[in-house]
Amino acid sequence: MRPTGPTDSTDRTRHHEDRLRADGGSALADSYDVVVGGSGMSASTTATILGKHGFDVAMIEAGTHPRFAIGEAMLPQSSMWMWIVGEYHDIPEIQYLSDANEIVDNITTSCGIKHSIGFAYHEPDRPVSADRTHQLIPPNLPFYSESHLLREDVDHYLVDVAREYGVDYVDETEITDVDLGEDEVTVTTDRGVATASFYVDGTGGNSILADQLGYREDAPELETDSRAIFTHVEGLDPFDEVLGADARPGQSNRLHDGTLHHVFDGGWMWVIPFDNFDRSEATRASVGLMLDREAYPVDESVEPIEEVERIVSQFPDIEQHLDTADPVMPWTRTGRIQRSASQSSGHRHYLTSNTYGFVDPLYAIGLVNTFESVFVSTNLLLDAFEDEDFSAERFAPVDELHRRQLSNNDRLISNAYKSMGDFRLWNAWTQMWLGQVLFHDLYIQRHCFNYLESGQTAEFDALLDEAAPGDGAPFATQKAAMHLMMADVLDAYEAGETSADRAADQMLAEMREADWLPKHVYDWGTDRARHVDFSNPELVGKLIQWGKTDSPDRIREGLFDFTVPEMV
């Protein structure tokens, strides 16, 4: 099926301008190829890709832009996925998000950098000591870098990009009904009705369609059970200046040069500075508490700021870190933030990953999942238009991808909360997380390196054949087994069936036995392992040398079978 809308970029712009409302927004036309509900990052990126390929698209937003959104901290994988999606579809405007300098040059001067992932473990009434911190510094690669995204600016930018690619952006318009007919979808709003061949639901937790189809009923119950209290602040000093000189990690970057996690029994706090980049004009930081609801049940009798002050007063270094910070908006307190659905796709529709479900912002997995999902789902949708097949079976891979993402995230994060009660447990779990995130990064980098050598976007197509990108990695089976073993150990600890020390010993021993974790690069499985700095070319060289010569055959042949590009 060929797109009904104009395919020439000039015609697309003219076609778009013909439907402008008097207030500058787009008026809703009678019919489209695709209607996208919502205008977050997933919705806007999806709409832009479809517009790029010549389809007539409406993006319907209940609110408007710019609007406040909590800051996002990126990971190497989220940067890589933005780069891949932009390169695969030849959309540089998406690819700009994968590099901090490109963000400043093309999007906003209000974003920070993320050249560090740091964790500081706190105990009541005690300062943080040198052996209670972890810091991961990612490698410096020329085709991507991680940032702290001021979502208010970035989300608005992506909406504008979608409009430049011919998408009708219809804001301040509430979707009231979605009817999935045999031959078309009918979307009813408070401003009119439009039909389409397909509906993409990016409306998040407020999805009308998910409610209509009963997707929120009988949804899988998530083990993670947390709530949030958050704000933006100004005047926040680097935590490195709070720590004594002998307690700092002492690596090439400060903790302030990236995302900092204050961790304690029952919760954690994110600190995402937007002012830590010399090209940023921002003065703010995003700060938020995540709390296990059993350990910290909400106290509605006090204001959110009072609850924050009461909690952080237990931990002298967190209290001192926030001492200079002034909130620029009231602290916002939520109820339980987890949500899930029983299904993510069907006849003539699918939900975006964030609409399907959400666990917790720990480990900043959200944007990785968003762009994995955009990559997989848009390719399925483009193929569906070509074959004129919009059946539920056609989009079953979206359902499977989102199920796996949510399940993996829930296992990773719920067990992180369990481990927070004892530092040795937290240390073991953090080492495991470091290993799995490093090697998943390498697996996606491998595809990027092979693409840079061949120049063929088909190098990325193998990722479309995996139930979830990364499932084909040569360490995936062993990593999954390690996760399950450690989860069982933490369950036994939580049930009082084993001690924290014995549980930590078992978890560390599991990593020592793992042949896919190179111990000369990082001392996985020992109590003393803490920091690793992959901005050090010598350390990166050791890793690649091991991978190409001394690693197990499956790792060498399925992970390190790339040529390192000259620019690296």
Alpha helices in 184-313 (DSSP H): 208-212, 239-242, 304-312
pLDDT at 5: 45
What number of other Cβ atoms are within 10 A of residue 418's Cβ?
22
Could you list the pLDDT tens digit for every one of the 568 residues in the chain? 344 444 444 454 545 555 555 455 678 999 999 999 999 999 999 999 999 999 999 999 999 999 988 878 999 999 999 999 999 999 999 999 999 999 999 999 999 999 999 999 999 999 999 999 999 999 988 889 999 999 999 999 999 999 999 999 999 999 999 999 999 999 999 999 999 999 999 999 999 999 999 999 877 799 999 999 999 999 999 999 999 999 999 999 999 999 999 999 999 999 999 999 999 999 999 999 999 999 999 999 999 999 999 999 999 999 999 999 999 999 999 999 999 999 999 999 999 999 999 999 999 999 999 999 999 999 999 999 999 999 999 999 999 999 999 999 999 999 999 999 999 999 999 999 999 999 999 999 999 999 999 999 999 999 999 999 999 999 999 999 999 999 999 999 999 999 999 999 999 999 999 999 999 999 999 999 999 999 999 999 999 999 999 999 999 999 999 988 765 5
Coil/strand/helix, residue 565: coil
517-518-519-521 Cα dihedral, nearest 10 degrees? -120
Question: What strand order describes the sheet that includes 72-73?
Answer: 72-73, 147-149, 112-113
Of 386, 385, 53, which Cα lies nearest the Cα of 198?
A: 385
Of 381, 376, 374, 393, which Cα lies nearest the Cα of 461?
A: 376
Q: What is the DSSP string of 123-176?
A: BTTBPPPGGGEEEEE---BTTB--EEE-HHHHHHHHHHHHHHTT-EEE-S--EE
pLDDT at 141: 85
Rg (CA), the chain: 24
* Rounded Cα gap, residues 224 and 403, in angstroms: 15
Coil/strand/helix, residue 455: coil
Largest Cα separation within the chain, whole Å, is: 69
Of 551, 530, 397, 539, which Cα lies nearest the Cα of 473?
A: 551
Tokens read off for 329: 């908006």
Of 453, 470, 467, 404, which Cα lies nearest the Cα of 561?
A: 453
* Rounded Cα gap, residues 76 and 6, in angstroms: 36
Buried b (16+ CB within 10 A) or exposed e, 352-365: bbbbbbbbbbbbbb
pLDDT at 457: 96
Of 6, 3, 9, 53, which Cα lies nearest the Cα of 33?
A: 3
| 3-state helix, strand and coil shares in percent for the chain, rounded to the nearest 5 | 45, 20, 40
Question: 354, 202 in Cβ contact below 8 A?
Answer: yes
Cis amide linkage into residue 518, ω under 30° from 0:
no
Contacts of 309 (CB under 8 A, 6+ apart): none
Q: What is the DSSP string of 204-241?
A: GGG-HHHHHTTTTTTPPPPS--EEEEEEEEE-PPPHHH
Amino acid, res. 474: P
User: To which residue do tokens 């997707």 refer?
Assistant: 215
pLDDT at 231: 97
Angle between helices 423-454 and 76-88 (to 10 degrees): 20
pLDDT at 547: 96
Tokens read off for 133: 């911190």
User: To which residue do tokens 């060929």 refer?
Assistant: 2
The pTM score is 0.95
Q: Which helix (H) or strand (E) holds 453?
A: helix 423-454
Contacts of 13 (CB under 8 A, 6+ apart): 164, 166
* Rounded Cα gap, residues 459 and 451, in angstroms: 6
* Burial class for 140, CB neighbours closer than 10 Å (0-12, 13-18, 19+): middle
Tokens read off for 170: 């219809």
Q: Which residues pair with 37 in a beta bridge?
A: 60, 201
pLDDT at 14: 41
Of 184, 185, 183, 181, which Cα lies nearest the Cα of 201?
A: 185
